[in-house]
């Protein structure tokens, strides 16, 4: 959800686990201009990344390019080892399913 340039969401797993994340939008998020935001996992405060998303039309679809910049190699390595890659892939899959419905 967006509230004055800030966002927060909670991911709930099938087993009932919850993980919260929050950040701040930089600029005006839009499909044409892309999205630039900070990203912080509330379970590891202080490990903040800067994420950039760009969208490019490709036939009947859209190619999304995302780049994440970490404050340190240690933060990057922690994120990779934490299992976040699986969460990102699951989220992308769910987004693809939602967009296929025409919403």
- Counting the structural domains of the chain, the total is 1
- Give the distance, in angstroms, between the CA of residue 9 and the centroid of all CA atoms in the same chain: 10
Mean pLDDT along residues 69-92: 88
pLDDT at 61: 82
Euclidean distance between CA atoms 88 and 9, whole angstroms: 14
Of the pLDDT bands very low, low, confident and very high (cuts 50, 70, 90), residue 74 is very high
- If we measure between CA atoms, which residue out of 33, 19, 30, 53 comes closest to residue 8? 19
CATH number for the domain spanning 57: value is 3.30.530.20
Q: What pTM does this model have?
A: 0.78
- Domain residues for the domain of 92 are 2-100
């Amino acid at each position: 959800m967006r509230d004055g340039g800030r966002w927060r969401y909670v991911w709930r797993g099938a087993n009932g686990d919850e993980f919260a994340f929050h950040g701040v939008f930089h600029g005006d998020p839009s499909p044409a201009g892309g999205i630039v935001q900070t990203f912080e996992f509330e379970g590891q405060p202080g490990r903040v990344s800067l994420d950039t998303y760009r969208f490019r039309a490709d036939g009947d679809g859209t190619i999304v390019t995302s780049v994440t910049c970490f404050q340190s190699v240690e933060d990057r390595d922690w994120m990779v080892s934490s299992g976040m890659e699986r969460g990102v892939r699951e989220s992308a899959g769910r987004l693809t399913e939602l967009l296929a419905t025409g919403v």
